[in-house]
Amino acid sequence: MNKKWEIYKADEQKIKKIEEKGINRLLATVLANRGITEEEQIRIFLKPTRQDFYNPYLMPDMKKAVERIIEAIDKKQKVIIYGDYDVDGITSVTVLKSYLEERGLTVDYYIPNRLEEGYGLNKPAVEKIAKQNYNLMITVDCGISAVEEVKYANELGLEVIITDHHETGEQIPDAIAVVDAKRKDNEYPYRNLAGVGVVFKLIQAISERLKIDEKEHLKYLDIVCIGTISDIVPLVDENRVIVKLGLKLLQQTKNIGLRTILMLSGYNKIDSSTISFGVAPRINACGRMGHQEEALKLFLSKNIDEVNQLAQSLNEYNKQRQEKEKKIFLEALEKIKQNDLEKNSIMIIDGEDWHHGVIGIVSSKITEIYFKPSILLCFEGEEGKGSGRSIPGFDLHDALQKCSKNLYKFGGHAMAVGLTVRKEQYESLKQQVEEIAKEQKIDKIIPILKIDAQIDINEISKEIVESLKEMEPFGEENKTPLFVFKNLKIDSIRALSEGKHIKLTLKKDANNIIGAIGFNMGQVVEDYYIGDKVDIVGTLEINTFNGEDSLQIVVKDIMKSV
């Protein structure tokens, strides 16, 4: 697939100003490209502290939520937390339940079964909770679109506080408080917290109101950090403060469940990648396979034997998830081929016996391969449940909103959605979504590689590459810095892992050779030969092999030099 290379235009004045603070030119260039140029901005980005959190009371309805929760504490009322089954939801329940119980409140929880109930509030669950005589239900990581469900709760005498981070609809639920920075009347400085980030602001607000030592809410940053990274929210602004401080706390976490799952993940270093690829899949696998409560129990348990047993179960669910994912992926690829779906602006694929909990991951893979939005649906009888993923430049949530008459239920955000559709509306939905995608000329959207700088391999050193680690944690809106290296001669080239990856050595001159590796780029070996001059876009890392360190380029794209 063709990719467009875009090199940031260097602002020499800003770069020099940053260099004056003792920062090397390459790191200064990357900071300037991201708009981090003022002294205080640089400090918060590189070395945030607990003083850098915003005032939680700027968030809509925060005061109302805090006052109602304090009333529940004072009156020893029955309170239940209604959460989601993904990592963000599980960590949100963990943090709020643990914090409130330390305030002397007995708190129960309800997490819907993904396979039987789907995402968010549902009326049977609300009715079940009301019949158990709970006084207050607090939602975490869900609830902003549950207008009818909250109305039903009110009719049953169940009071509701909503904490959420998803986009609002035309109407917000009639709850006691609706704490969501995406509300139209929001005055909070940052809109993109994860669900667990909103919960963190809630417990921060309660601590301030009750004059509790700040360590009592800050100690949960390890868990908050897990949910924030896993939910793929932008790792900038307050999310970055959460994750930077949370990762430090994670190194010495006192949560035995979290400590155990970190060890099981097999990663030597604890960073955002460890969470994204080692921890999150195991926790998510519980919800995906219909065992959502086991992940929560892992975080809440104080019994090491129980924790070890739960951690092994998480591992097993993850293996089952991988097997089902592979099967659905291969079937989806076959359906794309059979139905010539590559020509469509958006790929909508349906199947039977596809596991609801896994199709979102497969949708991500399809979108990554074809660089087109995709929706995968599993039909059972007259109803299809599905997940969709998008590409930068196409708001999939907005597209579904325009098709709401053909949908039974939907939710999510620009890049990821969940939906339910009746069979009789399916063809109309497909046609309408395709028309919207065509109108927005999706076929003209080309993947863009935003390159921080063109550099010469003679200019880089281990110390400079090490300094780039100050930009971590990497994630949405803070991608790993990309660089372009021009006119390098291929010294060696070979495929790895049965042709899946590619390994090269490249040189500018006889004295300076650098290694390079391209993951999932094995096909490149057919197009390039020793002696070819190439331009490479990639990230820089220090590769340790047999106890020795060497600089290495992780290739993202390659083309022959002009």
Query: Which 3 state secondary structure label does DSSP give 158?
Result: coil
Element (H, E) at 136: strand 136-140
Give whole-number Cα distances, 374 to 54, 303, 363, in Å: 37, 43, 6
Which residues are 560's β-sheet partners? 534
pLDDT at 65 > cutoff 80? yes
Phi-psi region of 171 (alpha: psi -120 to 50; beta: other; left: phi over 0): beta
CATH 3.90.1640.30 maps onto the chain at 52-219
Tokens 């999150």 sit at which residue?
Answer: 280
| Spatial CB neighbours of 416, under 8 Å, sequence gap ≥ 6 | 360, 387, 388, 389, 390, 396
pLDDT tens, position by position, 121-162:
999 999 999 999 999 999 999 999 999 999 999 999 999 999
Cis peptide before 473 (omega within 30 of 0): yes
pLDDT tens, position by position, 81-97:
999 888 999 999 999 99
| Spatial CB neighbours of 277, under 8 Å, sequence gap ≥ 6 | none
pLDDT at 1 > cutoff 70? no
The CA-based angle 190-194-196, given to 5 degrees, is 120
**Whole-model pTM above 0.75?**
yes
Q: Answer whether 224's CB lies under 8 Å from 246's CB.
A: yes
Rounded CA-CA distance 406/418 in Å is 14
CATH 3.10.310.30 maps onto the chain at 339-444
DSSP letter string, 456-520:
-GGG--HHHHHHGGGGPSPBTTBPPP-EEEEEEEEEEEEEETTTTEEEEEEEEETTEEEEEEETT
The CA-based angle 491-495-497, given to 5 degrees, is 145
Top-tier CATH class for 339-444: alpha beta
Q: Retrieve residue 141's tokens.
A: 């990581």
Q: Answer whether 89's CB lies under 8 Å from 96's CB.
A: no
pLDDT tens, position by position, 32-63:
999 999 999 999 999 999 999 999 999 999 99
Tell me if the domain spanning 52-219 has CATH number 3.90.1640.30: yes
pLDDT at 169 > cutoff 90? no
Give whole-number Cα distances, 292 to 149, 384, 416, 534, in Å: 22, 22, 21, 49
Alpha helices (runs of H) in 103-175, residue ranges in sequence order:
123-131, 147-155
Task: Put the strands of the sheet holding 383-389 in their side by side order.
Answer: 347-351, 374-380, 383-389, 416-422, 409-412
CATH 2.40.50.460 maps onto the chain at 4-47+449-560
pLDDT tens, position by position, 242-296:
999 999 999 999 999 999 999 888 888 888 888 988 888 888 888 778 788 898 9
Q: Answer whether 223's CB lies under 8 Å from 258's CB.
A: yes
**Structural fold of domain 4-47+449-560:** OB fold (Dihydrolipoamide Acetyltransferase, E2P) (2.40.50)
pLDDT tens, position by position, 182-228:
999 999 999 999 999 999 999 999 999 999 999 999 999 999 999 99
* Angle of helix 221-230 versus helix 280-288 axis, rounded to 10: 70
pLDDT at 101 > cutoff 70? yes
